[in-house]
Amino acid sequence: MPSFSDATRRIVRTASAGTAAALLNARSLSSRALNGGLPGTTAGSFSGVRAAASPLLRNRAKVASGGVAALALGALLLPGHAAAQTTVHPTVPGSSVFSASAAPQQEGRVVQVSAPTTYKQPRSASAQDSVAVAHNLAQPPAEQPQPAAQPQPEQAQPAQPAQQAQPQQQAQPAPAPAPAQPGWSSPAPGAPTSNPYHKTNHSYAAGFHTGVDFAVRPGTPLVSVGDATVVSAGWAGAYGNQVVLKLSDGHFAQYAHMSKLGVHAGQKVHAGDRVGLSGNTGNSTGPHLHFEIRTANRYGAVIDPIKYLSAHGASNF
């Protein structure tokens, strides 16, 4: 069974086709009659045909308007969904109505600014209705100051177990220090004296003993009494083999009656250095060391040897 919409379409087509056919038939009939194209038609009978067609020709405006009204009636009778299906949407400029639909209208246009302002769109009721801040231009929020941290109460540390006492290593004995070089010394350390200084004796050229005699056996080592330079080392007549040193303070030390010489002239010696061996050479009555301290390198310019050496710190007599 045809639907309501199919019946409506049929009515419209019939009304339209009938009206148009009636007009076409009337016009064709009139033209053929005038031209003698109708068989059995005469000039007298043409007036009858024209008279029959005249109402249709006179009322063609009414017929046309009636067709339009029939079309409108058919459109109104169509269901709502059919009318919606035939709706033509506007398109973008320059395109066909059947090629593309118009671009969707944007609702509520937004203007992006770096911060809210008094900008107002045309015909806008509010200044800030359509204003938004672009997320890439927005200022970062100000940092809030953090509250100062409260000092935490110190927790008592657990007592650490006492470390076990490490066994002490046995102390190594310190090496014995090297013997210090004496600043000043006796010419025969540890030997006693047998004849003191300045003893009167008329047999001596000076009338007294010009030095001090140390009682030592032949071959006893003899040492320098201080830092000095060897002035001479050799034979000296009544003194036998002798050595003369010039001491650091300008005085001279004389060693006489030696059996062997251990230094040579110009040699540097220090306190305690060996200069030779004791003996019994020269004008001597027995083995001993005759020792003098002179203020000048000549006979008779002498001072007390024991007092001189003691005053310089020597004590090994």
Tell me the per-residue pLDDT of 86-104, one tens digit each, with 9 for 90 and over. 555 555 555 444 444 555 5
Inside any domain, residue 163: no
pLDDT confidence tier of residue 49, bands split at 50, 70 and 90: very low
Percent of residues, the chain, with pLDDT higher than 70:
44
Instruction: State phi, psi for 288 to the nearest 5 degrees.
Output: -170, 175
**Longest CA span, the chain:** 222
Report which of residues 217 and 143 the model is more confident about: 217
Report which of residues 205 and 80 the model is more confident about: 205
Tell me the per-residue pLDDT of 166-221, one tens digit each, with 9 for 90 and over. 555 566 777 766 555 568 999 999 999 999 999 998 888 889 999 999 999 999 99
Inside any domain, residue 127: no
Give CA–CA dist 109/130, Å, rounded: 7
Query: Would you state the pLDDT for residue 205?
Result: 86
Inside any domain, residue 216: yes
Inside any domain, residue 182: no
Inside any domain, residue 247: yes
Inside any domain, residue 185: no
Inside any domain, residue 200: yes
Give CA–CA dist 271/311, Å, rounded: 15
Give me 134's structure tokens. Answer: 């672009």
**What Å distances lie between residue 237 and 87, 176, 283, 291, 312, CA to CA?**
162, 46, 8, 15, 31
Instruction: State phi, psi for 274 to the nearest 5 degrees.
Output: -75, 135
Percent of residues, the chain, with pLDDT higher than 90:
40
Tell me which of 69, 84, 99 is where a domain ends. Answer: 84
Instruction: Count structural domains, the chain.
Output: 2
Mean pLDDT in the chain? 72
pLDDT confidence tier of residue 23, bands split at 50, 70 and 90: low
Inside any domain, residue 273: yes
> Residue 232 belongs to a domain with what CATH number?
2.70.70.10
Segments forming the whole domain that contains residue 223: 193-311
Q: Which residues contact 304 (CB under 8 A, 6 or more apart)?
A: 197, 198, 212, 293
Instruction: State phi, psi for 86 to the nearest 5 degrees.
Output: -95, 5
Instruction: State phi, psi for 275 to the nearest 5 degrees.
Output: -115, -10
Q: Does position 317 have pLDDT exceeding 60, yes or no?
A: yes
Tell me which of 52, 84, 116 is where a domain ends. Answer: 84
Tell me which of 32, 57, 84 is where a domain ends. Answer: 84
Query: Would you state the pLDDT for residue 46?
Result: 46
Q: Does position 313 have pLDDT exceeding 60, yes or no?
A: yes
50-54, 200-204, 213-217, 309-313: least confident range:
50-54
Query: Would you state the pLDDT for residue 27?
Result: 58
